[in-house]
Amino acid sequence: MAENEFGNDQTPVGGPAPEGAEGPQAGVIAQYVKDLSFENPNAPASLQALQGAKPAIDVNVNVGVRKMNDEVYEVELKISAKATAPTQDGGEQVAFVAELAYGSLYGIRNVPEEALRAFLLVQAPMMMFPFARRIIADASRDGGFPPLLLEPINFEALFRAQQAQEAQQTGEAQADAASGEDPAPISLN
């Protein structure tokens, strides 16, 4: 066996942990389907309308976090997909609607508050997404359509955009407070 040329006396980045302190820990406790819905409201006509036609698909994704206790958080990834197909008269009809609420429980200890939000809104949904993607693909396939394979989502970019929007809203609220006007309500969704 090769000898370890680094030895065991390395100091972790940021210095040694204080006596009795543990490092940050995070892990998946459970993953589960909270709600799954697949609607094919115009079958069998919707299946025939898609023969050779490519449907328009509208996908929405939302991430929610709920604190269960001091060390457990539930992250819920909601995905809705609606496919519409053109009709012979120039209109469009709904081919299918798939909705999934996919949950995961995370056990978290000793994670700094500033890193906790990023973990729950970026890393957690990134870990959950492949499982949710498969469920949506299976549901659309089982509904008689080709599997809907969702494109990967950059949760970090979405998180940064949300932070920028919140910073802008905070700045506007402070300006409104200084001018004496009532601040505009802030939507948390």
Q: What is the CATH number of the domain that holds 51?
A: 3.10.420.10
Indicate whether 65 belongs to any domain: yes
Q: Which of 15-19, 150-154, 158-162 has the lowest mean pLDDT?
A: 15-19
* Closest C-alpha among 128, 136, 130, 64 to residue 97: 136
> What's the confidence (pLDDT) of residue 114?
83
pLDDT in tens, 69-126: 999 999 999 999 999 987 777 778 899 999 999 999 999 999 898 889 999 999 999 9
144 contacts: CB under 8 Å, gap ≥ 6: 40, 43, 47
Q: What is the four-CA torsion angle of 168, 171, 177, 180, rounded to 10 degrees?
A: -80
Residue 85: closest CA among 151, 145, 150: 145
Q: Evaluate if residue 1 carries a pLDDT over 50.
A: no
Task: Tell me if 18 is assigned to some domain.
Answer: no
CB contact burial 61-79 (16+ within 10 A = b; e otherwise): bebbbeeeeeeebbbbbbb
Do residues 79 and 60 touch, judged by C-beta distance below 8 A? yes
Assess if residue 30 is contained within a domain.
yes
**Residue 6 covered by a domain:** no
Is-contact 40 143, C-beta < 8 A? yes
Q: What confidence tens digit (pLDDT) does each residue in 43-78 have?
A: 887 777 667 678 899 999 999 999 999 999 999 999
| Domain-embedded: residue 157 | no
137 found inside a domain: yes
User: Is 97 exposed, middle or buried (CB count within 10 Å of its CB: 0-12, 13-18, 19+)?
Assistant: middle
Identify which has the larger pLDDT, 79 or 184: 79
Tell me how many domains the chain contains.
1
Q: Which structural domain, as residue segments, surrounds residue 110?
A: 25-146
Work out the percent of the chain whose per-residue pLDDT is above 90. Answer: 49
The backbone torsions φ and ψ at residue 113, rounded to the nearest 5 degrees and listed phi first, read: -55, -40
Res. 173 pLDDT band, cuts 50 70 90 = low
**Residue 82 resides in a domain:** yes
Q: 24: pLDDT confidence band, cut at 50, 70 and 90? A: confident
Residue 2 lies in a domain: no
